[in-house]
């Protein structure tokens, strides 16, 4: 079982990202679970969402405490939220970040080699393609670069079903761009 924790702010679509990844993995034939860190929606407040993906049926029904990967939709969260809390040793951190490696390690407060760290300038890409700073779909693409949890084909299917028409097309393009632009740092 692979467990992902999503960090975002209310309204940025962390829960949607968790659901889209789960749906894509479901289409690949996996067992999945995704849910928000149960709370009333508050725009702007730091929020969590989770995705579990497994070859076996998933029985457990509690929050994720020791994720295999964390995804950070918004770099401003690094200043207020400890995004590496509980992260498994050697686990992955995938951050929407447009800067140097050292700067990122410092913002995360972790040493080199403790975790695998991936960066993608998701806000920049989203502004280019969607014309809006919405990074949730881009960050799924970035996560897939670090961990092939779902096929790109089924992720596109899931995204286009969730956002029909032009919006879906644009998000599919953004996902591909983000996937290509993601670098381990």
Partner 1 sequence: MSGGKVPKIPLEKQVRMAVNGDEAVAYAAKHSLVDVVAAYPITPQTIIVEKFSEFVADGEVHTEFVPVESEHSAMSAVVGAAAAGARAFTATASQGLALMWEILYIASSLRLPIVLAVANRALSAPINIHCDHSDAMGMRDASWVQLFVENTQEAYDTTIQAFKIAEDPEVLLPVAVNLDGFVLSHTLEDIYMLPEEEVHKFLGGYRKVTGKTYVDYLGKEVEVKLDPANPLSFGPLDLYDYYFEHKVPQIKALEKAKEVVKRVNEEWYELTGRRYGDGVIDAWGVEDADIIVTVLGSTAGTVRHVARQLRKEGVKVGVLRIRLYRPFPFEEVANAIKGAKVVGVMDRALSFGSFGPSYLDISAALYGLKERPLLVNYVYGLGGRDVPPSLVRRMFEELIKVKEEGEVKEPLKLLGVRE
Length of the chain: 185
Residue span binding partner 1 (CB under 8 A) among the ranges 18-26, 71-79, 102-110, 176-184? 18-26
Q: Which of 11, 45, 60, 102 binds partner 1 (CB under 8 A)?
A: 60
Closest contact distance (angstroms) between CB of 173 and partner 1 is 23
Q: Which of 4, 14, 22, 94 binds partner 1 (CB under 8 A)?
A: 22
Q: Which of 55, 65, 131, 164 binds partner 1 (CB under 8 A)?
A: 65
Tell me: does residue 35 bind partner 1 (CB under 8 A).
Answer: yes
Q: Which of 36, 75, 91, 141 binds partner 1 (CB under 8 A)?
A: 36
Q: Which of 31, 116, 124, 147 binds partner 1 (CB under 8 A)?
A: 31
In degrees, to the nearest 5, what angle opens at C-alpha 99 toward C-alphas 14 and 152? 45
Tell me: does residue 34 bind partner 1 (CB under 8 A).
Answer: yes
Closest contact distance (angstroms) between CB of 82 and partner 1 is 18
Complete DSSP assignment for the chain: -EEEEEEEETTS-HHHHHHHHHHHHHHTT-EEEEEE-S----TTSEEEEEEEEESSPP---S--SS-SEEEES-GGGGGTS-TTTTPPTT-EEEEE--S-HHHHHHHHT--BTTBEEEEE-HHHHHHHHTSS---HHHHHHHHHHHS--S-HHHHHHHHHHHSTTHHHHHHHHHHHHHHHH-EE-
Q: Which of 38, 44, 164, 165 binds partner 1 (CB under 8 A)?
A: 38
**Per the structure block, which two tokens stand in for 168?**
């879906």
Closest contact distance (angstroms) between CB of 53 and partner 1 is 10
Closest contact distance (angstroms) between CB of 48 and partner 1 is 12
Q: List interacting residues with partner 1 (CB under 8 A).
A: 18-19, 22-23, 26, 30-36, 38, 40, 57-63, 65
């Amino acid at each position: 079982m692979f467990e992902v924790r999503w960090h975002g702010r209310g309204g940025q679509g962390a829960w949607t990202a968790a659901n889209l990844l789960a749906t894509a993995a479901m289409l690949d034939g996996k067992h999945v679970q995704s849910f928000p860190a149960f709370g009333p929606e508050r725009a702007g407040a730091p929020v969590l969402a989770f995705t579990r993906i497994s070859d076996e049926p998933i029985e457990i029904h509690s929050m994720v405490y020791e994720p295999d990967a964390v995804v950070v939709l918004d770099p401003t969260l690094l200043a207020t939220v400890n995004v590496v809390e509980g992260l498994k040793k050697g686990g992955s951190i995938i951050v929407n970040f447009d800067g140097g490696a050292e700067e990122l390690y410092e913002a995360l407060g972790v040493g080199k080699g403790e975790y695998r760290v991936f960066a993608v300038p998701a806000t920049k890409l989203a502004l280019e393609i969607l014309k809006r700073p919405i990074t949730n779909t881009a960050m799924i693409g970035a996560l897939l670069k670090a961990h092939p949890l779902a096929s790109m084909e089924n992720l596109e299917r899931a995204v286009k079903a969730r956002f029909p028409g032009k919006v879906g097309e644009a998000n599919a393009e953004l996902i591909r761009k983000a996937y290509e632009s993601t670098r381990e740092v």
